């Protein structure tokens, strides 16, 4: 047996069947519902008119309560109604026009473009430095061309008797200029290496300060190395051989700068791969070290026949300072980069 539902009530049927119940359509709550009421072939103007007929924009009432959610250490934010415009914006031909609202953002025309990426060939400072170095190199080479050729010949020539190459003050100045150019080119190469493999942003206000710091580090490296050479050589060798070795060492570092200049120019103007630049720079540095080892043996150790001493001498005065320089440059670059 089934019990009847006590909650169920039969629907009330109106006595008069002719009476009809009017159903009022619900008011659309969204623009999508308004568009559903229109026919499918409604034009955009008709759709816009229908939406404006159903929805009327109301007045925005901003809160008058103080803003207590501002950041610590910062002042209270300004009200959105507080619009302070300069005098030349407030007083002009359309100042009395009721339709003029300069405080409203009208947007901008077009779309924002992508910024041009940084390239060394578009860097006017580095380009100017290379052009100045090129011009000064030609001038210095014109004044000391014969002396540099004699120095290059003396590097690969083993004289039977000891003799000294006479040099003028202009030739000495030219060699010191080539040494400073070597420091600048090495600084530029390490600057490019840092931007490629370490970081592209630094805590410095200007990136050229990093080039100046690297150049100062290389100048200090060569200055300290020459002081160490002078102290050690004066203890163990005579003055004549020391002078011959210093002239040879200065010539080698001058030729090192001349060999590095083409690769820096190619990297700046033609964007050659960084790996190729690294291989070429490593080749030049190793070549200069080999020639330094060779001239050290010829000048100081050839007559004595000391083979173990030349290895210790070269490692202590060339290899260890070179690794110390590389480690110091890495520490400086890591200290100056921005860590996110």
Query: Is it the case that residue 211 has pLDDT exceeding 80?
Result: yes
200, two tokens: 């592209």
State residue 219's pLDDT score. 93
Burial class (CB in 10 A: 0-12, 13-18, 19+), 300: buried
| Long-range contacts (CB closer than 8 Å, 24 or more residues apart) made by 293-300 | 293/318, 295/155, 295/245, 295/248, 295/249, 295/252, 296/245, 298/158, 299/241, 299/244, 299/245, 299/248, 300/233, 300/236, 300/237, 300/241, 300/245
- Full-model pTM: 0.62
DSSP characters over 146-214:
HHHHHHHHHHH---SS-------HHHHHHHHHHHHHHHHHHHHHHHHHHHHHT-S-BSSS-THHHHHHH
Residue 167 has pLDDT above 80, yes or no: no
Q: What token pair was written down for 176?
A: 């010191």
Q: What is the pLDDT of residue 217?
A: 93
- Over residues 259-297, the pLDDT tens digits come to 999 998 888 888 788 889 889 999 999 999 998 888 888
Q: Quick one: average pLDDT of 206-230?
A: 89
pLDDT-based confidence at 17, cuts 50/70/90?
very low
Cα-atom radius of gyration of the chain, to the nearest Å? 41
The answer to whether residues 228 and 86 touch, using CB atoms and an 8 Å cutoff, is: no
Tell which residue, 215, 196, 140, has the closest CA to residue 170: 140
Query: pLDDT, tens digit, for every residue of 145-159?
Result: 777 788 777 777 765
Residue 337 DSSP SS3: strand
- The rounded distance, in Å, linking the Cα atoms of 70 and 76 is 6
The pLDDT > 90 percentage for the chain reads 12
Instruction: Looking at mean pLDDT, say which of 28-42, 217-231, 264-278 comes out highest.
Output: 217-231
Mean pLDDT computed over 225-242: 85
pLDDT score, position 279: 92
């Amino acid at each position: 047996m089934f019990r009847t539902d006590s909650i169920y009530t039969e629907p009330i049927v109106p006595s008069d069947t002719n009476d009809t119940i009017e159903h009022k359509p619900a008011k659309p709550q969204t623009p999508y519902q308004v568009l559903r009421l229109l026919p499918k072939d409604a034009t955009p103007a008709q759709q816009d008119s229908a939406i404006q007929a159903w929805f009327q924009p109301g007045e925005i009432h901003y809160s008058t309560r103080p803003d207590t959610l501002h950041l610590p250490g910062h002042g209270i934010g300004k009200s959105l109604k507080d619009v302070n415009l300069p005098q030349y914006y407030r007083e002009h031909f359309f100042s009395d026009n009721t339709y003029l609202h300069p405080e409203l953002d009208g947007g901008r025309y077009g779309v924002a473009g992508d910024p041009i990426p940084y390239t060394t060939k578009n860097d006017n400072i580095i380009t100017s430095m290379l052009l100045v170095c090129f011009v000064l190199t030609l001038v210095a080479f014109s004044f000391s061309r014969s002396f540099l050729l004699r120095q290059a010949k003396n590097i690969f020539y083993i004289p039977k008797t000891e003799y000294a190459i006479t040099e003028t003050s202009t030739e000495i100045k030219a060699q010191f200029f080539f040494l400073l150019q070597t420091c600048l080119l090495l600084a530029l190469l390490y600057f490019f290496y840092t931007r490629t493999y370490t970081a592209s942003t630094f805590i410095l206000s200007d990136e050229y300060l990093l080039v100046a710091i690297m150049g100062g580090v290389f100048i200090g490296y060569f200055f300290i190395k020459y002081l160490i050479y002078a102290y050690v050589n004066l203890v163990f060798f005579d003055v004549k051989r020391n002078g011959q070795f210093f002239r040879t060492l200065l010539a080698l570092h001058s030729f090192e700068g001349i060999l590095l200049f083409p690769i820096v120019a190619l990297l700046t103007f033609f964007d050659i791969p960084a790996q190729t630049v690294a291989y070429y720079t490593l080749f030049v540095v190793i070549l200069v070290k080999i020639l330094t080892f060779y001239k050290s043996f010829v000048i100081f150790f050839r007559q004595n026949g000391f083979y173990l001493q030349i290895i210790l001498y070269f490692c202590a005065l060339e290899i260890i300072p070179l690794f110390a320089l590389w480690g110091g440059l890495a520490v400086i670059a890591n200290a100056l980069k921005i860590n996110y």
